[in-house]
Amino acid sequence: MWDRFLRACRREPVDATPVWFMRQAGRYMAEYRELRKKHTLIELCKSPELATKVTLQPVNALGVDAAILFADILLPLEPMGAPFEFAAGEGPVIHEPVRDQAGVDKLRLFPPEEGLGYVLDAIRMIRRELDGKTPLIGFAGAPFTLASYLIEGARSKEYAITKRMMYREPAMWHALMEKLAEVVRRYLLAQVEAGAQAIQLFDSWIGALSPDDYATFIQRHVRHILADVEKTGVPVIHFGTGTAMLLELQKQAGGTVIGIDARTPLDLAWSRLGYDVAVQGNLDNLLLDAPPELLSLRVKDVLRRAAGRPGHIFNLGHGILPETNPDSVKFVVDLVHTETSRAVS
C-alpha cells in the first residue's frame, strides 16, 4: 500500500503500520558516506541531484514507507542573513550569533524560490523519481529550535543565552520568533507547492522549556506556521524531544500527527493527547544498537502501546546515529510490518 504513511497520518485504517526514521538518509549508510567523501553536507543539500540521490537511498535499501527530503533545518538561516557552517565533528557554527535588536532587525524575510530554490528543485526532482511509489515528507525547523542555534551560535546544553533573551527582552524575542515563524511558514508552503506530501516541523530542542514558557513565548509562533500549512491539506507532523510536559500545548499549536519522544511511553502520550490526533514514534534511537532480542522486545512494546489504533506511525524518538548498523534499521522495518500486517476492508 503506497500511501500507508499518509493514511495513518489521517488515522485511516492501513494494511500495516507505516515506518520511517528520522535521519534515515545519513552517515550510518555506506552509500551516504561515499558521497560525503566527495561533498560537504551543504553541497549535498544545495545540489538537487545529490539531495535526490541521498533521499532515495534508504527508500530503496530499507523499504521504509516514506521518503524524507534530504536537507538541514538550518538552511533558511543563510538567506535570512545569518550564514553558518558545519565545523568538522562539532555541529553547526553560526558566524554572527543574533543577540541584540540590531541582529534581529538585520534578519531578512525572503521568497523561498529565491533563497531556497535548490530545496524546492530537489523536492520536484524527488517526486519525479519516486513516481508515486512512496510519499515524500518535507520539513523545517521550528522557531525555538532555530532561534537556539541563532542565539547560542552552536549546539547548547542549557540554552542559557537563549532563555536569557526570552526572559529579559520579550519584545525582541517575539520579534525574532515572528521573523523565524514567517520564514518557516513561507518555506513550508513552498515545499507543499513543490510537491511535499506531508510536512514535519522539528522543534527538536523545545524540551528545554516549561509549559508556562511554551505557552508564553512559543505557542503562538508555531500556530502561525501550522495553521496555514494544515490548510493545504497535507498532514503535518509536529515533533520535539523532551516534550513529556508539552504535548497538549503542542497539539493546540497544530499538527495532524504529534511526534513522541522515546522517554514518554507512547500509550500515555496518546491518551493524554486524545485519539483525535495521530502519533509518531517512539523507539529510543540507541536501541538500534541493542542485540536483536532486546530490540525486538522494545519494538513490540511500542506497537503494543499503540494498540493497533489507526493513526500510529512507527519511528524513533530522535534521529538515527552515524554508528548504527543499517541491518538493524532494516530489521525494524520488517518487524513492524510483519507484526502489524492486517487485512483492510
Site for a second copy contains 50 (CB under 8 A): no
Applying CB under 8 A, which of residues 33, 106, 128, 164 lies at the interface with a second copy?
164
Site for a second copy contains 194 (CB under 8 A): no
CA angle 63, 65, 68 (to 5 degrees): 100
Please name the amino acid found at residue 179. K
Where does residue 27 rank: exposed (0-12), middle (13-18), buried (19+ CB within 10 A)?
middle
Site for a second copy contains 293 (CB under 8 A): no
Name residue 280's beta-bridge partners: 259, 313
What are the residue ranges of helices labelled H in the chain? 4-9, 30-38, 41-46, 48-62, 77-80, 101-106, 112-115, 117-130, 143-152, 160-168, 170-194, 211-213, 219-231, 247-253, 266-273, 292-306, 326-340
Q: How many residues bind a second copy (CB under 8 A)?
A: 35
By beta-carbon proximity to a second copy, the closer residue of 5 and 314 is 314
Q: Which stretch binds a second copy (CB under 8 A): 111-119, 129-137, 222-230, 258-266?
A: 258-266
Site for a second copy contains 287 (CB under 8 A): yes
Site for a second copy contains 291 (CB under 8 A): yes
17, 280 in Cβ contact below 8 A? Answer: no
* Min dist. Cβ of residue 254 to a second copy (A): 21
Site for a second copy contains 154 (CB under 8 A): no
243, 261 in Cβ contact below 8 A? Answer: yes
By beta-carbon proximity to a second copy, the closer residue of 3 and 261 is 261
Q: Report residue 216: phi and psi, to 5°.
A: -80, -40
Measured CA distances, 207 to 202, 203, 266 (Å): 12, 8, 17
End-to-end Cα distance, the chain:
13
Applying CB under 8 A, which of residues 167, 227, 309, 334 lies at the interface with a second copy?
167
DSSP string, 82-129: --EEEETTTEEEESS---SHHHHHH-----HHHHSHHHHHHHHHHHHH
Which residues are tagged catalytic? 23, 27, 36, 72, 149
Site for a second copy contains 244 (CB under 8 A): yes
- C-alpha span between 196 and 199 (Å, rounded): 7
By beta-carbon proximity to a second copy, the closer residue of 155 and 309 is 155
Placement of cell 511511553 in the chain: 265
Applying CB under 8 A, which of residues 263, 272, 300, 304 lies at the interface with a second copy?
263
By beta-carbon proximity to a second copy, the closer residue of 72 and 289 is 289
> Which grid coordinates belong to 203?
522543534
Site for a second copy contains 268 (CB under 8 A): yes
Residues 295-314 that bind a second copy (CB under 8 A): 298, 301
Closest Cα partner for 227 from 256, 254, 199, 200? 254
Site for a second copy contains 286 (CB under 8 A): yes
Q: Which stretch binds a second copy (CB under 8 A): 100-108, 185-193, 242-250, 271-279?
A: 242-250
- C-alpha span between 108 and 23 (Å, rounded): 29
Residues 196-235 that bind a second copy (CB under 8 A): 207-213
* Min dist. Cβ of residue 252 to a second copy (A): 16
By beta-carbon proximity to a second copy, the closer residue of 200 and 243 is 243
* Min dist. Cβ of residue 306 to a second copy (A): 15
Q: Which residues bind to a second copy, rule: CB under 8 A?
A: 155, 157-160, 163-164, 167-168, 207-213, 242, 244-245, 262-265, 268, 284, 286-287, 289-291, 294, 298, 301, 321, 323
